[in-house]
Structure formats: structure tokens, C-alpha cells
Chains A and B, each alone.
Chain A
């Protein structure tokens, strides 16, 4: 099969680009090396929809972030049934001598078009963010920032893209790319050969390797590790905003992040590493994150932590790399998409479509584009009356599988019908296993439902793809 465009990588960038291109009369193939979309960099994203502050006004990521924020707030969140909460953000200072720094962030944000920025004093903070510690002296209030579920954002984009004709193939690691003499490429992935006129490289941590395979070794990705720690849902109301300290040179610092599922999160650390697979957490990381978070909200304790993970930011210099590569005509790189990549993704997608058009791809709108994606049901979000209506339609909504997060058998089956193939895929879509018991009670039940729905033996059920099988043997 020959495609117009092959997108390599089904993370947030690849997913947004796939959906954007699905508006047009094009054959688009989305290749993902992992078992499911969002299993790379996007999985560990903190879910913040940034306003656009803390980026230089001249930067690419600055304006893409502001535009991405606008697209998410005004169209995408409602079109795709996403839980987006515009809770706002505070950038706090511990020393009034740092106020000029806040003024600078405010001024640069305003240059980029960020609205509603306001420096607030301790009295304002006492009223609106009462758990802040005594060290906090003032803050910049950023009302347009918000939170979203990063993986459900990716799943929604991919589902909608597929609905509009994009072909998704998972477990297809790209191992070779051959440029043909006339034009276009042959991409070898998972032992199969795929042909296309254009390649969009959205391969996250591996974007440098993919670009080199295609003939453009023009940049290097350096992973920057971040450890994040999730707190119990009981601590949901510990903060009303996303809280940042004044940023340092390498990162935005240790934050207190509200999440769209209720559990507050603290983190991330920011340490460069050489290993693109190093997703370990460390004693030192935990100590650093706790100290950073407690400086802002002292009542946070180690006992509040119910989960933790590490993510790797794909860093390629200071700014995003989004460009056509003259060294490999037909290759568009979307690389170095670290923060604020999640927010920027819808704007990046539009930019990539424009680049493709400028290099000869014809963009004719389809007669019918399915803009809307129905919102998946989450029992923990609905009223008793709605719960009754759901149960009346499907009794399995009354059959609770995950007790900590209130997830029913109907929701698990629905997640599998929408593409979940692994235990983590079920977790990210439904929240089952992500509560305080960590799957202690529900894991076997979920595995049995997966066995039923997917029709493969329980020994083949994995946590996140081949190699991560959960059990070794099944006794008859």
C-alpha cells in the first residue's frame, strides 16, 4: 500500500498530526513501535495545558503553546469529549526580591498573547490558595492554564483520526528508511515495507535516529528525566491551582499539579541522562520532589504518595524542531517536543500540514469530516441519576471491577473495544488499577475480561506489550 503520508510515532504530536491530516483527502498511515499509542513520552506527561508563559517571545514553542491552548479551550476539548479543567496556574516566589522576575515572565507572556496575567500578593493567596506555606510571598496568576489527561488526549485524537480514515499500526518499530530515486520513501517497520511520498517524524526520544535513517542526521535528542509522584485522591483539594516555583534554567521546577482525575501530583525532577530507556525512580528523586513540593505546601507528606513514575523529555536544544529537511526531501521532522508539547500539539499539527502543503502535498478537504468523538463514560464522574440510566441500558455498569476508582465491567469492555490491548492501556483509559490499592483487588478480574474480549490466553496478557507478560504459566 502506498500512503501519501506516514507518521512515525503515535504520541501526542503524531496523534494530533494524524487527526489534522484526516480532514483532507489523503492516505495517512500512523506507525507506533509500542503496543498502544501514548506509551512513550506522552504517557508520563504531567497533563498541564500551559498558557504560554515561561517561553521567550521569539521562540517557536512560545506561540505554538499559546495557539495550542486556544485550540484546546475553544474546540478540541469539547469536540473530543476530553476532561479539560481550566484551573489556572500560580508561579510563586519565596523572596520579594524575585518580583522583577515575575514581572519579566508577565511581560513576555503578554507579548505572546497570554491573557489575564496578574501579580497577586500574600493576602490574595491566603484567600485563594490557603494551604500555601509561609515561605511563599507572592505569585503570578495565570488563569488560562489548565489540566487534561495526557494519554486520554492521545487516545481521543487517534480514535478520531482512525474514524476519519487514518490507518493505525502498533508494535511496528521502524528499522530502516530508504529514499527512492524519484521521490518518496520505503519504510521498514516490524518486518513489513510501507511506501509513502512524505514522512512525518514524530518519534519522540528516537526522532534523531529516525531522521538519520531517512538521510538527515541533523540533530541529537538528549533525554531529560523527570520523576513524578502521585498523591492519594483524598488530597484532591490540597491545591486549587497548578503551583510552580519561579523556574530555574533547566526546568520549570518541582510543581504541585492538579490532575483531571483528582489525584494531585508532585514533580518533576529534571536530570539529563544518556539512556533513552531509563524510566527508574530513585531515592534521591523522591527526596528532591518532596522537599520542593513541601516548600510550597508543607502539609504534603510521603504517606500521601500512592504511585510514582519517570518520564523522559526529548530535548533537542532550547526550542522545538519543526521543519522540512532539505537533506531528505519529503521528510518533515517534529522533534525536541518537550514541554509545552502537549499544549502545542494541535498548533504543531496545523503547522505540519502547512509545511507538507508548501512541499507539494495537495490538501483537499473531505466532504465529510467527523469532528466529534463521543465522551467515554466514567462512573466516578456521573450523578446517581445518570448511573441509573446507564445501568438501565447496560446492567454491567453496576458491576464494579475497580473499587478504589469505581470502574465497572462495562467501562473495561468499552476500553478494550476502543483499542486497549494491555493492562496499562486499560488503566490509562479507565483508571482501573490506578487507585490506592494499585490493582491488588482488580487485576485478575481485568485480565479475565481481557481474555474474554480479546480471545487470547491469559499467559499472553501483558502490562505494556511483548516481554511484559504478567504470568508465566496457567495450570489446567
Chain B
């Protein structure tokens, strides 16, 4: 939305904004905690409030056509885009394309955590969606793997819903999350955080029954004899995000296989002229405010590209 609005402000006449969900705002809608907007709006907002400020502007702008429940299936290097929506397969040729496709979560399978594959193992963001969007409580006793911000936020969220959050397990020496989240989400709720530990096994045939945890050394190798078990019925996995650039890759853009981000000499650029990537698709940001700042820049860059200005 920030890119669309900035492109309009820079003089682009006709913007099509595709959103796969049924409402604008993406993942912000499930982030009902505060902490958004301190930089951009100089006031503290929740995720849905932050998204709503942009959604209102987008809806007021007759130069932005919004297409919801629209799923981009194909992009070519000459900027032909196909998308599906209920009732139609559409094709559109654009003079410039901005990909603001965000991230997916790294999963249990990517660490990987060995053990069984019962119900009750969820990416933390999926659990967030269950609790905040649907009102579904995933379990009664949870262990959280990884101390990224989503994991920390979900530790507090589950605690508020009456779930016993037994531990947050972090393989590194420090949290990857914001300091304020470690304090406000764990310390204030008395939730133990184990640094330099890993979950070495998940147990349970149908539903999670317990996890095995082991301490690791500086080389990330297990320290023999340090293992212990935590009974729980839920494991949330919060071990990082992967930018979603499969469309860009399909179009033939150069992708760094390690980070799954576009290879570019400058923020928001890709190796295909006229195709931009912004927000968490370009790199993983820690604050939505910085996503907004750089995405607005992407809108401006696309406008300059259309005007034939040198980038």
C-alpha cells in the first residue's frame, strides 16, 4: 500500500494493487499487539490500526484499483502478470511491477527438528493467525522454539489466553528479537528463556506429548548429559522468515539462494528493469515502519522508471 500511494504521489496514473487475502494489510491484520507506527506516525498503534491508516488512503484514491482475493500465478521478464481470482484468470501487462510479497516462515522442517510429526507443531505466525483471527486456542502447554519477535509476541499472547508457556528455546547466545519484546513478552510474564539450547526431539504419535531439550556449546554441538524433557502439547516454531520471491524467480531475476532475496546493487531493485521488490520480500526488516519507508521509496523509483529517469 505504501508503494502504491507513493507511486501515485510521484505521478503514476494507473495502479493495480493485487492482494491475495480478502482484506488489505497482509500480516499486519493478525499483529494485534502495539508497537507499530512509533517512527512513521509518531504514535503507537496496533498492526490492524497501522494497516488501516494506509487502507483508507488507498480506498480514497481513484487511481488505485484494488483487486482482493487475487493470486498472482505467473510473472514474465517483460512484465506480463497472470493472476487468479474467484471466477477469473486475468492477464495484465504492466509497465512497471512492484513485488511486495512479504515473507513466509521458516518451518520445523528447515532446522530440522527430528522426532514424530503429530498435531500441535505450528509455525508461530500460523498460531498467531489461529488465535487472533479465528479465536482458536491451539493448545494448553506450549514450548516455543526460537526467540524471534513472532515467537516472543506469541509467548505473551498464549499466556494471556491461559496457555502455560513452559519455555522459549534459543540455540544462539542472544535473542534475535527486539529487546523490548524479550522484556515485555517473557520477563514480565515469568516465561523462561533458554539460550544455547535446542529442541532435539519431538514426541507424541497423534498430538505432541513432550520435547527433549539439550544444551549446545559455542560450536552448536550438543553437550552430552545436558538433556532434559518438557511435557507439552504444543510446539511453536519461530526460527526466522524467508522472503517470498518465487514470482521474481519465475520471471528470471537473479536470486541469492542463501537468503532468497533479489541480487541487487541498491534497495528495492532486481536484476530485471522495471521490476522492483520491496518490504520484507526485499530483505527481512525488524520494524514495519522501515518497511513503509523503503516501500514508499520503491513506489517513487517505479514512477521515475516510468518517466525514463536514470536510476
Contacts and interface: CB of A to CB of B under 8 A. Distances in A.
B192 interface: no
B201 interface: yes
Given A391-B87, A472-B137, A475-B137, A282 B123 contact: no
A439 B71 contact: no
A474 interface: yes
A265 interface: no
B176 interface: no
B20 A400 contact: yes
Contacts of A388: 89
A458 B137 CA distance: 11
A307 B206 CA distance: 18
Contacts of A319: none
Contacts of A309: 117
B201 to A, nearest CB: 7
B112 interface: yes
Interface string B106-121: 0111101011111110
Interface of B: 20, 69, 71, 73, 82, 84-89, 104-105, 107-110, 112, 114-120, 122-123, 125-126, 129-130, 133-140, 200-201, 203, 205-207, 233, 249, 257
Interface of A: 234, 277, 279-283, 285-286, 302-303, 305-309, 384, 387-388, 391, 395-396, 398-400, 403, 406, 408, 436-441, 443-444, 448, 458, 462-476
A440 B105 contact: yes
Contacts of B89: 384, 387-388, 391, 398
Judged by DSSP, the binding face of A is mixed
**Residue in B85, B109, B134 whose Cβ sees the most chain A Cβ within 10 Å:** B109
A206 to B, nearest CB: 15
A374 B138 CA distance: 38
The 4 closest A-B pairs by CB, nearest first: A467-B206, A475-B135, A395-B87, A463-B119
Given A286-B114, A306-B110, A308-B112, A277 B205 contact: yes
Contacts of B206: 462-468
Contacts of B135: 474-476
Given A279-B116, A309-B117, A471-B139, 17 more contacts: A279-B205, A280-B203, A285-B114, A303-B257, A305-B109, A395-B88, A398-B87, A400-B20, A440-B107, A444-B126, A462-B206, A465-B206, A468-B118, A469-B207, A470-B138, A473-B136, A474-B137
A470 B119 contact: yes
Nearest to B125: A440
B207 A468 contact: yes
A120 to B, nearest CB: 31
Given A282-B114, A384-B89, A443-B126, A437 B137 contact: no
Contacts of A463: 118-119, 206
8 contacts: A309-B117, A388-B89, A395-B88, A398-B88, A470-B119, A472-B233, A474-B135, A475-B137
Contacts of A408: 84
B133 A444 contact: yes
Contacts of A470: 119-120, 138
Nearest to B82: A384
B128 to A, nearest CB: 10
Nearest to B87: A395
Nearest to A278: B116
A439 B126 contact: yes
Contact of A458 (B114, B136, B201, B207): B136
Nearest to A466: B206
A76 B122 CA distance: 38
Contacts of B84: 387, 391, 398-400, 408
Nearest to A385: B89
Contacts of A403: 20, 71
A302 B116 CA distance: 19
